Structure 1
Amino acid sequence: MEDCIFCKVVSGEIESNIIYEDDKVVAFEDINPQAPVHYLVIPKKHIPTLLEIKDEDQKLIGHIYSVISKLAKKEGIAEDGFRVVSNCNEAGGQTVYHIHYHLLGGRNLQWPPG
């Protein structure tokens, strides 16, 4: 997607503070952090919303959660706890239409989230 900001992060066209990358995903710091640890984990494959995830994407989605687990452990937030958020469509708070998962931790997170 040529106008997708996250596709531009994946391609290197937009610079970001990448903290993890492999052949399937990229993780980078959120530019508007809501917690001491706030990373975005995105697939390199462009999938606009959670509603467009297909059966063939199951391994990719599982891999994303595996990366999230590794990052939570690496950042020292796994034991105390953390939150993973993925918004879908406008009323769900999605502003970039490329699926992404927010990893938040490092402070007590309240419920309901907002």
Structure 2
Amino acid sequence: MKDGSVFKKIINKEIPASIVYQDKRVTAFEDIKPKAPIHILIVPNIFIASSNDINKKNKNILAHMFYIAINIAKEKKISEEGYKIIINCNKNGGQEINYLHMHLLGGKKINSLF
């Protein structure tokens, strides 16, 4: 399901996922193939294909996604030691699912690029 439909199903609770946060604008859940002890994905509840599709109308979603990521980092107690926030864009940027999403990684030193 590289087309993003898996994220929509998680948002709508049609498939099981470890949701750590959800509001009207975003959903955050644990990655099923974590790259770090803490690996949370934060996705907008409305479909946006990639960061290239951020526009004047939906630009505030990014600020909200960052705000939620920071709050989750504090809740998971990784904010003091540090964490990484990553948004990949399209194939060459490492985006595997065609749906804008943010990775929050922490719980260990993360040296390499994602």
- Relative to the length of structure 2, the TM-score reads 0.92
Counterparts of residues 28-107 of structure 1 (less than 5 Å): 28-107=29-108
| TM superposition shift of 1:15 | 1.4
Distance 1:58 1:8, change over 3 A: same
| TM superposition shift of 1:3 | 6.4
Amino acid at match of 1:56: K
CA RMSD, Structure 1 to Structure 2 (Å): 1.4
Question: Matches of 1:64 and 1:3 in 2, distance apart?
Answer: 17
Secondary structure, aligned partner of 2:104: strand
Question: Matches of 1:3 and 1:82 in 2, distance apart?
Answer: 25
Secondary structure, aligned partner of 1:14: coil
Counterpart for residue 17 of structure 1 = 18
Distance 1:20 1:3, change over 3 A: closer
Structure 1 runs not aligned, ≥5 long = none
Structure 2 runs not aligned, ≥5 long = none
Question: Matches of 1:3 and 1:105 in 2, distance apart?
Answer: 24
TM superposition outliers: structure 1 runs of 4+ over 4 Å: none
Distance 1:102 1:13, change over 3 A: same
- Relative to the length of structure 1, the TM-score reads 0.92
Amino acid at match of 2:31: D
Identity of aligned residues (%): 35
Q: Deviations over 1:41-84 (max 9, x none)?
A: 00001000110111121221111111011000000111111000
Distance 1:3 1:68, change over 3 A: closer
Provide the aligned length of Structure 1 versus Structure 2: 112
